[in-house]
Amino acid sequence: MASFGRHYEEKPIVDAEQPSSAAHRSARRISQVIGYTTMSWCTIESDPGVFTELIQQMQVKGVQVEELYSLDLDSLNSLRPVYGLIFLFKWRPGEKDDRLVIKDPNPNLFFASQVINNACATQAILSILLNSLDVDIGPELSALKDFTKNFPPELKGLAINNSDAIRTAHNSFARPEPFVPEEQKSAGKDDDVYHFISYIPVDGVLYELDGLKEGPISLGPCPGGQGDVEWLRLVQPVIQERIERYSQNEIRFNLLAIIKNRKEIYTAELKELQRKRERILQQLGPMQTERIVDGSSVEALNITLSEINAGIETATEKIVMEEEKFKKWRTENIRRKHNYIPFLFNFLKILAEKKQLRPLIEKAKHKASKS
């Protein structure tokens, strides 16, 4: 299997020459008519810690993102409920896709055209969150969903672009740059361009949602919902086939799952186990006090108690692991956002003042010439 890895959203894919840019051109015409403006969106890293904090900043509750390193069903099943999958791949210009695009989709399905440079990851996340009825998406996304309910995909894309809350959350991960270019450079022929798409079950149908297409793509009937294993069983070969299609020339892929917050799941399990332990102890108390002769009942209860205690220990360990993971993500995100440029400038200035900068430069040049 091809390896999954982390990548940045590269140069603006929607400005590249491509057959599916019709939605973008249509949205641009609409925006000119109704006075919408296209805002600037930064590139962000494809990383579960980044995406989880991004979702939290959009006021969504009880959700996190996990990176997948395998497509085997056991790995997918262990993460249930899985609200949706996000697949990152290298976009190839001119690639044909003859699959039927639904021009008049299910009204319950939220689908937006991608009209924003650098925002395909955020749009892929929104495609899952806004189609997940069991997720508390918060006031901002709820208002966006209600407001755009009867909009065509192009206007939904423009509404995302004009959402201050979403754009602010997205741009909070902007990397500090010493120089701000006046215009963002579009992708050229030789640039690597990566794209995100979503997979999600809605109303008994498995969909692929790609904002660069004119509509969603139905992948067939899908009994059950986001909490069931059946949709994961159906989507597994779809993603595997896509990977194999590219694997001869490309091994860089990234697969992420939007799932229920694991700490909340383990905390609920822990509380239930603690309630069971309390009931067992209440049963054992009178037996031990009254010295009941039926030792088999006491033994059975003690065995059950041991199993419950083991479960409590396991659940507690899982909670601690989740807390450590979120702590690590927070630290990494702080470092991503921190502006180290003033420190570097001052460091170079001090080296120059101490006459140490030029020798280091010459040493580096000499080392580079030898390699």
Distance set, CA 68 to CA 11, 95, 174, 226 (Å): 25, 26, 25, 17
Out of 120, 170, 222, 338, the active site residue is: 120
**Is residue 289 within a helix (H) or strand (E), and if so which, with residue range?**
helix 262-290
Alpha-carbon 18 to chain mean position:
25
Other CB atoms within a 10 A radius of the CB of residue 173 amount to 20
Instruction: Identify which of 126, 49, 34 has the alpha carbon closest to the alpha carbon of residue 86.
Output: 126
Q: Are 195 and 124 in contact (CB under 8 A)?
A: no
User: What is the C-alpha end-to-end distance of the chain, expressed in Å?
Assistant: 34
Out of 195, 222, 338, 366, the active site residue is: 195
Instruction: Identify which of 167, 126, 133 has the alpha carbon closest to the alpha carbon of residue 42.
Output: 167
- As a whole number of angstroms, the distance between CA 191 and CA 229 comes to 38
Q: Which residue has the tokens 């701000």?
A: 180
Burial letters for 326-361: b for 16+ Cβ neighbours within 10 Å, e otherwise? Answer: beebeeebeebeeeeeeeeeeeeeeeeeeeeeeeee
Backbone dihedral region of 112: left (phi > 0), alpha (psi from -120 to 50 degrees) or beta?
Answer: beta
Q: Is 7 considered catalytic here?
A: no
- As a whole number of angstroms, the distance between CA 135 and CA 93 comes to 35
Q: Are 7 and 181 in contact (CB under 8 A)?
A: no
Backbone dihedral region of 263: left (phi > 0), alpha (psi from -120 to 50 degrees) or beta?
Answer: alpha
**Contact residues for 284 (Cβ-Cβ < 8 A; gap 6+):** 298, 301, 302, 305
Q: Is 120 considered catalytic here?
A: yes
Question: Would you name the residues annotated as active-site residues?
Answer: 120, 195
